[in-house]
Amino acid sequence: MDKNTITITDNRDGKTYNFDILDATVGPSVVDISTFYKKTGMFTYDEGYTSTASCQSKITYIDGGAGKLMYRGYDISYMANEKTFLDTAYLLLNGELPSKEKLEKFSLEMKKRSYVHEGIKKLYDSFPDYAHPMAILSAGVSALSTYYFKHLKINTPEEYKEMANRIVAKVPTLAAMSYRYSNGLPIIYPDINKGFTENFLYMMRAYPHEYVELKPIEIKALDTIFTLHADHEQNASTTAVRNLASTMAHPYAAISAGIGALWGRSHGGANESVIRQLEMIASVDNVDEYIAKAKDKNDSFRLMGFGHRVYKNFDPRATVLKNIRNELMDELGISSELVEVAEKIEKIALSDEYFIKRGLYPNIDFYSGLILQALKIPKEMFAVIFVIGRTPGWIAQWSELTQQKNIKIARPRQLYTGPIDRTPK
């Protein structure tokens, strides 16, 4: 018998079935059950896909037990500390880090492509002032497919790069416009003399004919957040993008679907929830009370920003952000009750056996919310920031799926437990 197989026995009738084992470069092997229904007449059941690999990928690797994250084989701490977000975006989109010359060319293209069609403003004008920036951004990205549809042919590497670079460059502009429209502020166009992350902060903060100071530490902090959010394997929003890609939908429609999935408070909206919870706790004098509530199994209260579906150790992104948060607070001289509350919660959680035993360490959302607030970015924009960082990863994932030889449309099966034969005879 082939050793690279697994045998499953149906104890009801004693029949056995063999399935191939596929080995990964690193990480768990998988059982190829693509013929499971054909062989057994049954489906597998895996609610939430916690034990199911939906695809093969060469983009991102996570070892949740060891607290490790890699983009295209590069450790996340190296990318966050030694490289920029544009380095990261280029790596995800092209498979290799850029040379100095290629990075300069990529950066220039990002600047030139950052402007959006003026017709988008008419769409934005139709939204009410109180519209959430994520809703506006999703509509804006989806609308791009109307401007780049007839001549959108992605059959060559050059055509792919044009499509990918265009969406990565335009999302920050659409994001800044979403914020300013939702607050009734004048639109600020991109400045071709500014870098990628600097330009976004500029479009967020500037007013016509007024100088805006952007401190290097602020640009570095936001650039790091973009880098840390750039990709994260097959999460909910990436799966949404891949599912749409499997239908051969327009790539910008797939990105819009990813934005919709990311908006959920259990996904991209988690860091906003962290800040709202810190505001609810309000004072360091109340921390002990809420820690006790979090540890009480009969209490519905859950401490936001701790633990992760994948990481059972430290979230490696959180480790990077903690250092950035401290550096930002020191250089900007920020001191607030909210920061003190967060620091006390962190101190207790890192030393309390209850949290340690359950692997409830601070995750990326616990630190990113505080950093974004220090950068004067409003809470409703937190998920939008996530979108800007994640767009290169989504496009890389979209490309990887669409370049497969055989593309199967995503079509999960189900365990039906409803009524039958209710039609009157």
Tokens 């191939």 sit on residue: 20
CB-CB neighbours of 162 under 10 Å: 17
Element (H, E) at 159: helix 157-182
First and final C-alpha spacing in the chain: 52
Q: Round to whole Å and give the CA distance between 67 and 319.
A: 10
| 57-82 burial: b if 16+ Cβ within 10 Å, else e | bebbbbbbeebbbbbbebebbebbee
Q: Which two tokens stand for residue 346?
A: 């962190």
Q: Is 288 a catalytic residue?
A: no
Whole-Å CA distances, 13 to 9, 10, 58, 410 = 9, 6, 40, 32
- Report CA torsion sign: 89, 91, 94, 97: positive
- Coil, helix or strand for 74? strand
Q: Per the residue annotation, which of 87, 231, 315, 365 is the catalytic one?
A: 365
CB-CB neighbours of 406 under 10 Å: 4
Residue 11 CA from chain centroid, whole number:
42
Task: Say which residues have a Cβ less than 8 Å from residue 353's Cβ, sequence separation at least 6.
Answer: none
Q: What is the C-alpha radius of gyration for the chain, rounded to an integer number of angstroms? A: 23
Q: Following CA atoms 127, 132, 138, 143 in sequence, which dihedral angle do they give, to the nearest 10 degrees?
A: 10
- Report CA torsion sign: 47, 48, 51, 54: positive
**Beta strands per DSSP E along 36-137:** 60-63, 68-71, 74-75
Cβ(115)–Cβ(141) under 8 Å? no
Q: Per the residue annotation, which of 229, 232, 250, 308 is the catalytic one?
A: 308
Amino acid at 170: K
Q: Is 296 a catalytic residue?
A: no
Whole-Å CA distances, 128 to 78, 101, 181, 282 = 43, 44, 9, 32
Cβ(255)–Cβ(393) under 8 Å? no
Q: Which two tokens stand for residue 121?
A: 């403003």
Q: Which two tokens stand for residue 258?
A: 């990813």
Q: Which residues are catalytic?
A: 308, 365
